[in-house]
Amino acid sequence: MSLVKTINVPQPNIGDEVTFTLTITNAGPDAATGVAVQDLVPAGFSAINTISNSGVESPAGTINWTGLSVPVGTLALTFKATVDAPTGALDEYKNTAQITDSDQYDPDSDPTTGPGVDDLGDNLADDDETFVTVVPKQADLSLVKTASSSTPNVGDEVTFTLTITNAGLMRYWRSRTGPRSLLVSVRSIRSPTAA
Ligand SMILES: [Ca+2]
Ligand SMILES: [Ca+2]
Ligand SMILES: [Ca+2]
């Protein structure tokens, strides 16, 4: 058996609810029974809900499924969680999951040992362990306004420039004209009202 974890939105926004899917593949030849899967949801997510296949969250952030039957083919487990703002903690968006039990022998992985241990000591990747790291979108926007003259005369034409800078890693998708900066010019030739 093997396990792959995916997320429905690879680059969600902070505050989004996302759906994780754990796909167990049983390459046969027999159906697998007594299968258990554990998912460690990191600190960058909260409000875990809608856990499929009678999975239980206990303690907080750890989801366990037990007693699963996996026919030859695949079985998908899903749950939802909310993406929290980053705190800078190590691997706060790295989701790890593994198969932790099965009644049947697996020729290339061991459900009793998890990430960090080479199952079977064979120097081969362990296909019963999986992780997905989520990269939330960030757009660090700032705004600066400048005028073409700070001491214009009445009747002069002055150009104001608003510069929006995105110092974040991500393009700000509401900007239609450019990924890094956006220039907006406003012209004003009004005289001051009478004092
Ligand atoms: Ca395997
Ligand atoms: Ca393993
Ligand atoms: Ca191995």
User: Ligand 3 centre from 165 Cα, in Å?
Assistant: 48
3 CA distance to ligand 3 centroid (A)? Answer: 14
What Å distances lie between residue 46 and 28, 51, 162, CA to CA?
Answer: 36, 13, 38
Please tell me the distance from the alpha carbon of residue 54 to that of residue 166, in angstroms, as a whole number.
44
Using CA atoms, how far residue 126 sits from 70, 101, 103, 119, in Å, is 19, 14, 18, 6
Ligand 2 centroid – CA 120 distance (Å): 9
Counting ligands in written order, which one lies closest to the CA of residue 110?
A: 2
Please tell me the number of the ligand nearest to residue 122's CA. Answer: 3
pLDDT at 169: 57
Give the number of whichever ligand sits closest to the CA of residue 127. 1
pLDDT one digit per residue (tens) for the chain, 195 residues: 999 999 999 899 999 999 999 999 999 899 999 999 999 999 999 999 999 999 999 999 999 999 999 999 999 999 999 999 999 999 999 999 999 999 999 999 999 999 889 999 999 999 999 999 998 888 778 888 888 888 888 888 888 888 888 776 555 444 444 444 444 443 444 444 544
pLDDT for residue 171: 53
Number of Cβ atoms within 10 Å of the Cβ of 190: 8
Closest CA to 184 of 164, 162, 166: 162
Q: What are phi and psi of 120, to 5 degrees?
A: 65, 0
Ligand 2 centre to CA of 127 (Å) is 7
Ligand 2 center to residue 153 CA distance, Å? 77
CB-count exposure of residue 53 (10 Å: 0-12, 13-18, 19+): middle
CA 82/CA 41 separation, integer angstroms: 11
0.85 surpassed by pTM: no
Spatial distance between the Cα atoms of 96 and 111, rounded to a whole number of angstroms: 14
- Token pair for residue 14? 């902070």
CA of 52 to the centre of ligand 2 (A): 22
Which listed ligand is nearest to 1 at the C-alpha?
1
The pLDDT value given to residue 10: 86
Q: Tell me the CA–centroid distance for residue 1 and ligand 3, in Å.
A: 13
pLDDT at site 177: 44
What the block records as the tokens of 115 is: 């990430």
Q: 16: buried, middle or exposed (CB in 10 Å: 19+, 13-18, 0-12)?
A: middle
Q: What is the pLDDT of residue 61?
A: 95
Proximal ligand: closest to the CA of 125 = 3
Ligand nearest to the CA of 108: 1
Which ligand number lies closest to the CA of residue 124? 3
- CA of residue 145 relative to chain centroid, distance: 35
pLDDT of residue 29: 93
- In this predicted structure, what is the pLDDT of residue 150? 85
Residue 36 CA to ligand 2 center (angstroms) comes to: 12
